Structure 1
């Protein structure tokens, strides 16, 4: 990795309080966020108080307690410099109705559902999502370009992406998101921004919750409890949650169909049906519904074919079960020392139903059930066939298990300097398995057999013996991934000297990471042993940051209410991919109270994942690809290692302004620019890649015709296995391995507006609006290729996303209505580009504090609620797209939800 040299202007203080690990040794055990912290509420409070008067206004120095460390700047007692932060507090967690933390975060407009998602895996990074988890993709820049922290420190992951659902919502104090590059502070992955999951340390009592929601052919429920205790010198908290979400099958939604002519789209129906379509001597024949025998062979109609839906029986959303728990602990020891800890345990189990297996069979005349069409003299022919009536669904069960513990100690030193030492240890275990895949060799042997007891019947009469069917479908696909993470941190924080505006503060430290990843693979017949590959990575990092307060309330003058500068630099040394140095600079200027301007500039990087370098597997996958000019095409894609992968690099800068009018109106706007180079791209799961085929000319990514067949034959001869049934003639090959191919430019504007209107007699109203408008999004396939505008095209970031909400609070009733808007865009995955309509679902909820805000007794902590998601049952906009094994088909899974209107009831008790 090359060293990135320093640039000019603006680092940013990213986001607030990393929990009680930053608590003052004296006083309450929990350092609370400053009253004017720059937060963006998405919903009204549900704790009995008035709606929060909050917005994305920068924290002033007077607002920050001297013992609070703002997570972005690492400088204790410093206000954010250069950037704002989106914060979801306890009130937002409760009012959101989200049953898991990852779904809470997806409500933020800057988060795009591209790549690592439970229902859409067709974009960059999706092929590694073998356990159908969710992660965070800020502004659509990439699913691995956002760093997710737990209480300000790194956490164990699956060497692919971090799923925020490992922290239960009951154990979450707040989520803070900074959509700005932060590698100078946090190192790798913080290209698009940082998400910090801050666990609860303020709970003093018991809280329990239950929720049940139902929609057509779908339901979900949640139960959980948390207990917390605070005392004069410390606190402890433990939370547990169980969540169940049913599957949603594509057969239960009319838009997930191959024949989309009723919607104004194409007919993507396939001939791999049950009964199938026979092709002999270049002539197709539809096998009759009652089956084909020599007796009715004369009824075959030349030129006919059976056509049916592809991907019959596939889940749009898999069944998921979550069991998650987390804890926090803080204890002061004397006047100078504090010990603290946080930890979590999570096990998420999933079950996904894939489509019925299908293949194009080569049937020789030796087959025991062979039927010869009239006039055909050849020795074999093909049948396009679906095994729906012969073989069980090749169910895909699995799990993702993660646990971690992070203890630490803080000591007061000379002056106001403090030192901290933190250790993290965690393990992860991902499992993704299938057990009834088609074994091509056994299938071909059964097709060639002249013994009825051993032969496969492809003619629709069900004459294949159970023993033969067992042999045909005995292919396993096991993919365990084991991870171990150890983190070491040593921090020093304090004031160097004092200027008229205040103390010049320093934060410096060391971080070490030891990462061990074990990638397992078993592809073959039942009994094939798992082959494990062990990899290790060591990272050593040092950083320093300085805050210089030129003007503050201590020396403010007309035109200079506040002026602060911040500078940070970080050096990272990787044992396997080299070294890098990244700077960041920030400035905040306030000419008058209530108005401020800010800017930031820095460089960031992302080291390639171990799984990207060495490959999750080394196989050929048979897949169905969207064909812009006609019916879907069966192709073959390669996965595997690329030992030449290099780190990604980015340059980011932003400017913005924040305005506060009294305590009721807050406005914020930020213009951002991200230049991202050397991006790691893999096209294994991109089943719409043929819509951009011309851009890959000369790269060897897409190969057609006889060249494709020769390449696949060469790889098979070298020992690479095949997952799925190869077509008789391979005509499409895609190199799906990771490569440093991409370059992108992303520019746009984030905005937030919050207004609070209290009244004397009719309660308090709050109006919130937030969104992102992309002014520029261009990508290039390679560093030297021309940049192409991809903004507002399918499976790329959209131009405009926004969320507006109105809340009304009149004790004991609270009402909340919100609308989420995604603009229309262009579907260019078809020959004639389609204009896709916008999507604006509306949600509504009502809650009743049974005991009232100032009630007493057993009912005082009881809250009952009801909500309707997608109140008007707004359907996903129709998208002319063939059903895909990785999501979408008749609709766009990255933009719209297939669930429809959901009714839910909740009960929450707090004592």
Structure 2
């Protein structure tokens, strides 16, 4: 308790000071002629007036030399990755409070979109609006994906210049998927030398390491850069975290233990009998006591975080061919392999009296009964292993035309290969045959006496689940950019272009016994797009007057035509107004859309999955969920607007505030992986998404009769059915405030202090599951966006040392997956990092390029707040994987070298 109180006091003190790494950018004047923008080797980048040059494209605008009008940019550099302990790019981005870990995440797959994340990748979910509503780009262009999402870790941190995030609708600029915003991974182009890094970190029962090398060379007319990074993260088993247990009475929660145990529980004629620990035969049937049952944890042994290995590389190249022509290219290769230990197989078996080992309880006269059983003692662990491999190359040419107009052409080609394989699992037909067998050599013994033959065990455990996805992407881009004419406030600038995408996806499926061939379904899509953007500076430095130091308007429009989803036109308008020096007021309005994914239209598979659901009324329920196609999906649409301001209050003190509003309609939702769906059952009335009792049994029987396969052993009888296919059901309204404060305090004798804070506060997150449904405020309820998130830091630079303390705060919320509802506490871990330049400020040679680092993540070793929730195969249980980390205190050491 003392440790927790200390953490709370320190956290409160740091938040009061107000610190963080991300920086909201001030929108820039279009008439500012500045030198080329970033110094990518300088660490964190704030997109400020001094860093926007005439040849720079800042995320959120196609106009060269201007930041987005009406919107802000959050920028993170490699130094943020080092200071934040981010060994991969996705963990760097998760430092931003506007990013929620809901859906496509390696450790939490229970939310919308999670069911398709079969390779345990990570994506970006801005504001929690949806895992597919944020567009991820590389240097401003689209990249290959698995027809689901882009994992930012395709680019190694060592090969990044910076990450730019615009948390505002951007479909008028970039097209589909940019409903909540866009993330742009900008690779390094100014490295001139060699940079190497190594890092090793460890926590209780967990470790990770990183090694990387980047080589770059610049010459008078060009550059080349190559970077490679290897990252390993061990698995974290639920066995090693005390809160990931079915019996949570010690924490004040429920007892979620089940009777599917080893030994198991017989239920005959409505009476339960616990099988003794020594097993049971007909000769010892008198040891069966009516009204007893074995209770156990059926999720034991499951990994909370899978073992992952990342090998990623990227390159950039630029070469001037004379004064007017420049050729350039960027590319990447990434392979991420994983291995995850799942919970042991368990099932409720139907044991007929023909079974060679059949035990008849005293007084039972029936011909069969059920037996709840766990196979953990007789079958090997269930391992899910696979990989996600992606590569792409994007060469281009830039030609200077008349005036300052430039024409740019880019060609992109990429391939993706996702593999998710499980080579063990119960085969229902073989299991039922073994249960019915009267031959001891081929019968299955469910009475815990180990009499089942190895051959029979192999036969009942020979189910495979193979889910490969092969992807192909070809992109074509033509961009025109330049100044049309001059106004009093500066040049009126135009950006226009054409884009085409050719996408191919092959969805593989093999579910059955070992040896079944993989069947592929092939799909394709073509997208043709045209866009235009005009920036009009009415007032600027040349014609400023009182009340109008600066006024600029921006208008963009984009047309997209999909070969399989129709066409759409989306505008966006922005305004920046500076009434006095140092203050910029801004606003934006636009519409956005997201075309349904190929995998959403045609389904990852056509199967029924046996799953265990959280039951607000009591013990968990085993049900079946349907995965399959929905050819009637329509595009999602959204209207977004925001207002805000950026204020340089005094020198070195900056404040940024933004109010945002996102109305999202026709949202594509799927409930295949939502194991807490019964907490909202009443909202699905009349939709057919949830069926109970006889209706559930009839629907499952109908699907099986039509040829839909079953993964796992279904309960007998079936009492719960969930339609997990994708549907245009939802609509949501998201409103809130983003804020950032940055202050730099230089001193004469004791270095420089830097204070930062960045946060987001939701004022509304109303969701209706159906278009005609009543909107319900989902803020601060489990597995939905939380009202308040913030991240702050204070750093002390005193050459050759740098010390930084960082606080991340996630607000508390209501767990409505149990009855009565319970409250979940806030989570506020504190991180500390120290770096030392061995050679000091002006050292040369080997020591001059070496930096030692030490970090402690979660300094006070805070456990995640307790959540009264049954352990789930899709993450969470005793804690909320979408809101807190189970790793605990991690200590890490690093060495960086620059030559």
- TM-score normalised by the shorter chain: which range applies? over 0.9
**3-state SS in 2 of match to 1:782:** coil
2:410 maps to which residue? 422
1:659 maps to which residue? 647
TM-score by length of 1: 0.94
For 1:209 and 1:265, the matched residues in 2 are separated by 45
1:770 maps to which residue? 758
2:7 maps to which residue? none
1:836 maps to which residue? 824
**3-state SS in 1 of match to 2:579:** strand
**3-state SS in 2 of match to 1:710:** helix
Answering whether residue 518 of structure 2 is matched by residue 513 of structure 1, we say: no
For 1:71 and 1:383, the matched residues in 2 are separated by 60
Answering whether residue 812 of structure 2 is matched by residue 824 of structure 1, we say: yes
Contact 2:26 2:72 in 1 (8 A): no
1:367 maps to which residue? 355
Contact 2:59 2:68 in 1 (8 A): no
2:395 maps to which residue? 407
1:442 maps to which residue? 430
Contact 1:15 1:70 in 2 (8 A): no
Match of 2:879 among 891, 894, 905: 891
Q: Where does 1:784-823 land on structure 2 (aligned, <5 Å)?
A: 784-823=772-811
Match of 1:84 among 72, 78, 83: 72
Contact 1:16 1:71 in 2 (8 A): no
Q: What are the Cα deviations for residues 377-423 of structure 1, in whole angstroms up to 9, with x where unaligned?
A: 11111110000011111210000000000000000111111100000
Match of 2:167 among 179, 193, 197: 179
Contact 1:839 1:876 in 2 (8 A): yes
2:19 maps to which residue? none
1:733 maps to which residue? 721
Q: Where does 1:20-419 land on structure 2 (aligned, <5 Å)?
A: 31-33=36-38, 59-60=48-49, 64-419=52-407
CA offset at residue 483 of structure 1?
A: 0.3
Answering whether residue 476 of structure 2 is matched by residue 488 of structure 1, we say: yes
Task: Work out the number of aligned pairs and report it.
Answer: 871
Contact 1:27 1:232 in 2 (8 A): no
CA offset at residue 499 of structure 1?
A: 1.1
CA offset at residue 495 of structure 1?
A: 1.1
1:742 maps to which residue? 730
CA offset at residue 89 of structure 1?
A: 1.6
Change (3 A) 1:857 1:63: closer
For 2:570 and 2:854, the matched residues in 1 are separated by 49
Contact 2:59 2:73 in 1 (8 A): no
Match of 1:566 among 524, 530, 554: 554
Query: After TM superposition, where is structure 1 displaced by more than 3 Å over at least 4 residues in a row?
Result: 14-17
Contact 1:15 1:80 in 2 (8 A): no
RMSD value over aligned CA atoms?
A: 1.6
Contact 2:500 2:527 in 1 (8 A): yes
Contact 2:273 2:291 in 1 (8 A): yes
Contact 1:15 1:71 in 2 (8 A): no
1:617 maps to which residue? 605
**3-state SS in 1 of match to 2:158:** helix
Contact 1:55 1:754 in 2 (8 A): no
Q: What are the Cα deviations for residues 115-159 of structure 1, in whole angstroms up to 9, with x where unaligned?
A: 000000000000010000000000000000000000000000010
1:607 maps to which residue? 595
Please list every run of 5 or more consecutive structure 1 residues that lacks an aligned counterpart in the other structure.
Answer: 1-13, 18-25, 36-44
Contact 1:15 1:176 in 2 (8 A): no
Answering whether residue 488 of structure 2 is matched by residue 500 of structure 1, we say: yes
**3-state SS in 2 of match to 1:112:** coil
Contact 2:59 2:164 in 1 (8 A): no
**3-state SS in 1 of match to 2:657:** strand
For 1:821 and 1:861, the matched residues in 2 are separated by 35
For 2:283 and 2:849, the matched residues in 1 are separated by 77
Match of 2:688 among 691, 694, 700: 700
For 1:702 and 1:634, the matched residues in 2 are separated by 13
Answering whether residue 519 of structure 2 is matched by residue 531 of structure 1, we say: yes
For 2:85 and 2:872, the matched residues in 1 are separated by 30
Range moving further from structure 2, 772-781 or 77-86:
77-86
**3-state SS in 2 of match to 1:592:** coil
**3-state SS in 1 of match to 2:184:** strand
1:593 maps to which residue? 581
For 1:759 and 1:27, the matched residues in 2 are separated by 29
**3-state SS in 1 of match to 2:410:** strand
Q: What are the Cα deviations for residues 739-769 of structure 1, in whole angstroms up to 9, with x where unaligned?
A: 0000000000000001111111111111111
Q: What are the Cα deviations for residues 479-537 of structure 1, in whole angstroms up to 9, with x where unaligned?
A: 00000000000011111111111111111000000000000000111111111100000
Please list every run of 5 or more consecutive structure 2 residues that lacks an aligned counterpart in the other structure.
Answer: 1-23, 28-32
For 2:269 and 2:77, the matched residues in 1 are separated by 68
Change (3 A) 1:751 1:696: same
Match of 2:544 among 520, 543, 556: 556
**3-state SS in 1 of match to 2:451:** coil
For 2:360 and 2:465, the matched residues in 1 are separated by 36
Contact 1:16 1:70 in 2 (8 A): no
For 1:145 and 1:67, the matched residues in 2 are separated by 29
Q: What are the Cα deviations for residues 861-896 of structure 1, in whole angstroms up to 9, with x where unaligned?
A: 000111100000011000000001100000000000
For 1:284 and 1:473, the matched residues in 2 are separated by 27
1:38 maps to which residue? none
Contact 1:16 1:176 in 2 (8 A): no
Contact 1:655 1:672 in 2 (8 A): yes
CA offset at residue 16 of structure 1?
A: 11
Contact 2:298 2:374 in 1 (8 A): no
2:662 maps to which residue? 674
Q: What are the Cα deviations for residues 421-461 of structure 1, in whole angstroms up to 9, with x where unaligned?
A: 00000000000010111000000000010111100000001
CA offset at residue 559 of structure 1?
A: 1.3
**3-state SS in 1 of match to 2:512:** strand
CA offset at residue 78 of structure 1?
A: 2.3
Contact 2:603 2:630 in 1 (8 A): yes
For 1:476 and 1:867, the matched residues in 2 are separated by 42
Answering whether residue 448 of structure 2 is matched by residue 460 of structure 1, we say: yes
Contact 1:146 1:195 in 2 (8 A): yes
CA offset at residue 55 of structure 1?
A: 5.7
Contact 1:221 1:244 in 2 (8 A): yes
For 1:864 and 1:88, the matched residues in 2 are separated by 21
For 1:255 and 1:27, the matched residues in 2 are separated by 55
For 2:569 and 2:796, the matched residues in 1 are separated by 49
For 1:646 and 1:79, the matched residues in 2 are separated by 33
For 2:26 and 2:602, the matched residues in 1 are separated by 37
**3-state SS in 2 of match to 1:170:** helix
Change (3 A) 1:404 1:288: same
Match of 2:570 among 582, 598, 607: 582
**3-state SS in 2 of match to 1:295:** helix
**3-state SS in 1 of match to 2:224:** strand
Q: What are the Cα deviations for residues 44-94 of structure 1, in whole angstroms up to 9, with x where unaligned?
A: x9x7x7x97x767xx55x864222223322111224311111000232122
